[in-house]
Amino acid sequence: MKTKGQKRFFRAECLFDLIVLIFFVLLAVKSLEYNPRARAIPLGVGIVGSIMMFLQFLADAFPSARSKLRFVGQRGLFGGEGERVRQGQAATGKGAGEGMPPESEEKGPSWFGVFRIVLWLAGFVIVLKLVHYLVGVGLFLLFMTRVEARESWAWSMGVSVGTCILFFLLFEVILGARL
């Protein structure tokens, strides 16, 4: 248990950031074994993803770095009520216990939310086996952004169709991969 005034050195956000950072670094390193044409996309994704996750790790691990990395946001599985409380404290200059009710302390991740995401991904894999990948990706993005992100149908449709167009141009037209 964490006592009042004691710092918490191990946080779920930092562990998650490190796991994803390792994935992107491995993706970049492994892509160097591919031929030049095949390595372009995984190497680019690996490098950009590594940089983004390193910045996210800095913002999560060192709260003082968060003010310098304002473009790194925390909204997602681990960006629950605890993050909003920390942001409110930073904006008002109040620390924990100064005008904040005790139940507003930082909470952990919503494991039910994580489980829902895993179910969405399992459904996505099943749909990919049954239909063309563009249809599967489109449906997945449409319903994920509508149901989980609670975006409007118009925004969800735009994201879905836009991503499918980009995937078609990238994989079918530019790379010539018939998936």
pLDDT tens-digit readout, 112-163: 877 888 899 899 999 999 999 999 999 999 999 999 889 999 999 999 999 9
User: Per the structure, how many domains does the chain have?
Assistant: 2
Cα 5 from Cα 158, distance rounded (Å): 47
pTM over 0.75: no
63 and 37 assigned to the same domain: yes
82 with 61: CB under 8 angstroms? no
Residue 159: give the domain boundaries: 111-173
Among 85, 104, 123, where does a domain finish? 104
The tens digit of pLDDT for each residue in 61-91 reads 887 877 777 766 655 444 444 444 445 555 5
Whether 28 and 99 share a structural domain: yes
**Angle, in degrees to the nearest 10, between helices 36-61 and 12-31:** 160
Q: Which of 49, 48, 69, 51 is nearest to 60 (CA)?
A: 69
Q: Is 132 part of a structural domain of the chain?
A: yes
CB-CB contact of 82 with 107 (8 Å) = yes
17 and 98 inside one domain = yes
What is the band of 24 on the pLDDT scale with cuts at 50, 70, 90? very high
Burial class (CB in 10 A: 0-12, 13-18, 19+), 78: buried
